[in-house]
Amino acid sequence: MEAWSLYRGGMSHQTESGWDFEPVYGPERLDGFDPAEKLGVPGEYPFTRGVYPTMYTQRPWTMRQYAGFGTAAESNQRYHQLIDAGTMGLSVAFDLPTQMGYDSDAEIAHGEVGKVGVAIDSIDDMRLLFDRIPLDQVSTSMTINAPGSVLLLLYQLVAEEQGVSGDKLTGTIQNDVLKEYIARGTYIYPPKESLRLISDIFAYCQTELPRWNTISISGYHMAEAGATPAQEIAFTLADGIEYVRTAVAAGLDVDTFAPRLSFFFVSRTTLLEEVAKFRAARRIWAQVMRDEFGAKNPKSLMLRFHTQTAGVQLTAQQPEVNLVRVAIQGLAAVLGGTQSLHTNSYDEAIALPTEKAARLALRTQQVLAYETDITATVDPFAGSYVVESLTDEVEAAARELMDRVEEFGGAVAAIEKGFQKQEIERSAYRIAQEIDSAERVVVGLNKYKVAEEEPYEPLRVDPAIEAQQVERLAKLRAERDQAAVDKALADLQNAARGNNNCLYPMKEALKARATVGEVCNALRAVWGVYVPADTF
């Protein structure tokens, strides 16, 4: 131990989840470790080693770049650039008003239109967003939650205009509202009504969009808010359990919808613990689905997930260093067995990514896939003393947190008590203190700084976009059949008051050119809006 301290300069090391790293890991750390029980083989229960037998040895993960800004036409241009650069899947970023279910001409939307994503107000915008993009050939992920049903139906309507039927569409809506109450804040309706809408989406897609992933249960935003790896998977899987319980209570058979569930995690620079986190999450989910819900279909037991590199770890100082961070984070995701990956652009801590930065981010994945040997074999870290030990430790810590959530009565009850939010805030505060004191080194921020930063010209969103969207909305409302819109919105409200699936009348309203805000306002009028307990 003394030699180790000298070698490391006296530094102590802790995992992100808060326990000490051992200087050396050996077989004694795995005393009693049963490879058959804990590991199995790739593609089989408990899926520790990956959800597919061959993983990347025959084809790499889906390289899915997250993009969207300004108008639908501008974002469409960026999508074509990414497709030309070799991306395998699109991932849509929506602006804040769209995420909150408001139109661009709503008073509350002023100053936010097109800023952090693309503004989508109606089917007219969605049509522009996917202009000349064949939706039967491209897999699309949409980072949208409370209005997830609305954007999904707009996507389906545009596909139908292209002549593409629902059974040919592939992709994902995030649709994870519970994490919004915990960490992100773009909720609309109270939890009970949000869960009702999610179960309607499950049922609708089972019939109309059978290849669509109906939810991406997300730990990413919890991690960005400060959650440790153990907290990230514990609270994410607890949310997943709540969604499954809701669907089963609504009369859906677990093996009909569970194979379409997917997850979304962060990948940090702490490579070893991140790999362990992904492996532990697969193991926990497989056991929960088999033992608690009695799932029989092996696909119901598979935790399939998308990964995004950690935006919160990027710095505005010396932004080129972020290229190194993102490469390490991407490597951790691949070694952990992700099914798809978005690599952040190096300039995202400053502004929206430039075209060059977005291309470099994609090139990072392509180097990992085609210039390294990490795709040559499945689960390269299997049997590693340190990774297997960390996998067990992350699993144990996550299960303990999941048990505490259950003591409250499940994820929703724990959310209403503020449990998850308080735990994450405690971790975030610890991290902030460590950075401020330089106990946690952030290169370029609190150590290895430069006297003067090189000038950088960020991508800026034209403020005229808001006026353009307002003008488009006025034109839409003047041209459409308002009586047809009013009738469709009334039908939607009747479904919301009763037990009928809301997505069928919602689709008719959107087809009649009702706007995103009008659809969400119709549901607000019936269901109300969520007010967090700490604001009472």
10 — pLDDT class (breaks 50, 70, 90): very low
12 — pLDDT class (breaks 50, 70, 90): low
Summarize the confidence of residues 425-435 as an average pLDDT.
95
More confident residue, 10 or 221: 221
Query: How far, in Å, CA of 397 to CA of 401, rounded?
Result: 6
Length of the chain equals 536
Predicted confidence at residue 364, as pLDDT, reads 97
**Residue ranges of domains in the chain:** 44-436, 464-535
Please work out, in degrees rounded to the nearest 5, the angle formed at the alpha carbon of residue 336 by the alpha carbons of 334 and 338. 60
Does 7 have pLDDT greater than 70? no
Strands (E), 345-486: none
What three-state secondary structure class fits 242?
Answer: helix
249-298 pLDDT, tens per residue? Answer: 999 999 999 999 999 999 999 999 999 999 999 999 999 999 999 999 99
Lowest mean pLDDT among 22-26, 212-216, 492-496: 22-26
Predicted confidence at residue 28, as pLDDT, reads 81
Summarize the confidence of residues 143-171 as an average pLDDT.
97
Query: How far, in Å, CA of 25 to CA of 329, rounded?
Result: 23
Predicted confidence at residue 66, as pLDDT, reads 80
318: alpha, beta or left? (left if phi > 0; alpha if psi -120 to 50): left
Predicted confidence at residue 5, as pLDDT, reads 35
Neighbours of 37 (CB within 10 A): 10
Contact 262, 172 (CB under 8 A): yes
Summarize the confidence of residues 438-447 as an average pLDDT.
93
Residue type, 27: P
Summarize the confidence of residues 463-471 as an average pLDDT.
93
For strands 212-213 and 171-173, give the pairing.
Answer: parallel
Judge if the upstream peptide bond of residue 46 is cis by omega within 30 degrees of 0.
Answer: yes
127-139 pLDDT, tens per residue? Answer: 999 999 999 999 9
Q: Which fold has domain 44-436?
A: TIM Barrel (3.20.20)
For strands 215-218 and 62-67, give the pairing.
Answer: unpaired
> What is the chain's mean pLDDT, rounded?
93
Lowest mean pLDDT among 88-92, 158-162, 324-328: 88-92
**Phi, psi for residue 495 in degrees, rounded to 5:** -65, -40
516 — pLDDT class (breaks 50, 70, 90): very high
Query: How far, in Å, CA of 236 to CA of 230, rounded?
Result: 10
Strand partners, 265: 307
348-391 pLDDT, tens per residue? Answer: 999 888 889 999 999 999 999 999 999 999 999 999 999 999 99
DSSP code, position 455: P
Contact 391, 276 (CB under 8 A): yes
* Token couple for 303: 């935790």
Q: Which residues of 137-172 are buried (b: 16+ CB within 10 A; e: fewer)?
A: ebbbbbbbbbbbbbbbbbbbebbeeeebebeebbbb
DSSP for 462-491, written as a single string: -THHHHHHHHHHHHHHHHS-HHHHHHHHHH
Does 4 have pLDDT greater than 70? no
Query: How far, in Å, CA of 457 to CA of 445, rounded?
Result: 20
